[in-house]
Amino acid sequence: MRPKIKRHICAHNCAKFSLFKPNGVASSVLTKIKIEADEFEAVRLVDLEGLSQQDGAQQMRVSRQTFANILKSARKKITSALVNGDALLLG
């Protein structure tokens, strides 16, 4: 297996909260889906900042394909949590 390249993540852009969950449901009864820091950063760069995947990949210092894989994983987790009513744990 190839060694994992260290990804550049802007520390000052961390989420203000670490857990998002459906209203009125105790977090102790919810399935928690963890969004990794690199996944959070990829979503932030593309969906909030409006960067292309190529530009996002350059900022994170990974290949465009790796960036696309990170983004795909993050979006799948976010969508699953929204559809199934799970909690999102940012980490």
On whether residue 48 sits in a domain, the answer given is: yes
**pLDDT for the residue numbered 47:** 96
On whether residue 24 sits in a domain, the answer given is: no
On whether residue 19 sits in a domain, the answer given is: no
Across 1-91, the runs of DSSP E, i.e. the strands, are 19-20, 32-35, 87-90
This prediction has a pTM of: 0.85
On whether residue 8 sits in a domain, the answer given is: no
Range of the domain at 64: 30-90
Per residue in 49-86, pLDDT (tens digit) is 999 999 999 999 999 999 999 999 999 999 999 999 99
Spatial CA neighbour of 9 closest among 49, 44, 37: 37
On whether residue 41 sits in a domain, the answer given is: yes
- Look at the chain and report how many structural domains it folds into: 1
